[in-house]
Amino acid sequence: MVLNTRYLFRRLLRTFEITTVCDVGSMDGSDALLFRRMLPTASILALEASPRNFALMEADQELRRTSIRIFPFAASDVDSEAPFFVVKAEYAVGRDRGRRGMSSLHRRSDGSQLEEVRVRTVRLDKLLAAESLAHGSIAFWIDTEGMALEVIHGASGVLQSTRMLHVEVETKPCIGANQKLFADVEKTLIEAGFVLLATDQPQHHLQFNALFIRADVWRTKARQIRWWIGAVRLGHKTLRFMPGRLRRMVVSLIH
């Protein structure tokens, strides 16, 4: 099904009782801040490999105030170092957000490269183990410019504890000549026990976001999931036009 996966992901964080969220390819921490609003006590980690973006995040007092932990790493399938290709953009708070999020471990062929830097690459399962966060209920928000499959492979040790993944994917190699595509991501996650819940664009599009959840979570939380899907399809009107007290009661019941 096609719907607003960004909204659905946020709403399912409480439904799935998520205790750790990884914002992978964070860019500026804005998504991590939204997750914090939904989960006041969860552990929220934000990874951003671009040195220019990371410097802005380090200076962001809101990220510090809300206890969002930031790491200057690129998630991949190996703990190592690798070249990282930073694109031309205006690196300033609130500016050029689209291009600031285009840097990648892939070398782009469209002339947008600004510079090549060396970054540390990490496996998410090892990072979470080192932070004592490998257990509990995990959610991944992955926007890594053509590296989605490698990120998922690097999280294989914690996929059993992972309840959902929101992943930016491509259907053609539009970022890197050797990048893996949506079909590879879907096959890997289905084999790992996940189901594709929704995408935010038809699956023939060049790039879109896909929301996967564990099959066993779907079985145990089907009623709540269907309720939120209905709310998203109605453009959130289901909640918006309810009286405040009734809205709060309904939300508490479906969580």
Checking if the pLDDT of 254 tops 50, the result is no
- Which of 23-37, 161-175, 241-255 comes out lowest in average pLDDT? 241-255
Specify the CATH class of 5-220 in words: alpha beta
Q: Band of the pLDDT at 237, cuts 50, 70, 90?
A: low
- The strand order across the sheet containing 113-122 reads 73-75, 113-122, 80-87
| pLDDT range class, residue 112, cuts 50, 70, 90 | low
Can you give the pLDDT at residue 250? 47
Give the predicted TM-score (pTM) of the model.
0.89
d(CA 57, CA 55): 5
* Burial group, residue 244, by CB count within 10 angstroms (0-12, 13-18, 19+): exposed
CB 130 within 8 A of CB 123: no
How is the chain split into domains, by residue range? 5-220
The whole-chain average pLDDT of the chain stands at 89
Task: Taking each helix axis as running N to C, give the angle between helix 222-233 and helix 5-15, from 0 to 180 degrees, rounded to the nearest 10.
Answer: 150
Q: Which is more confident, 27 or 109?
A: 27
Query: 56-83 pLDDT, tens per residue?
Result: 999 999 999 999 999 999 999 999 999 9
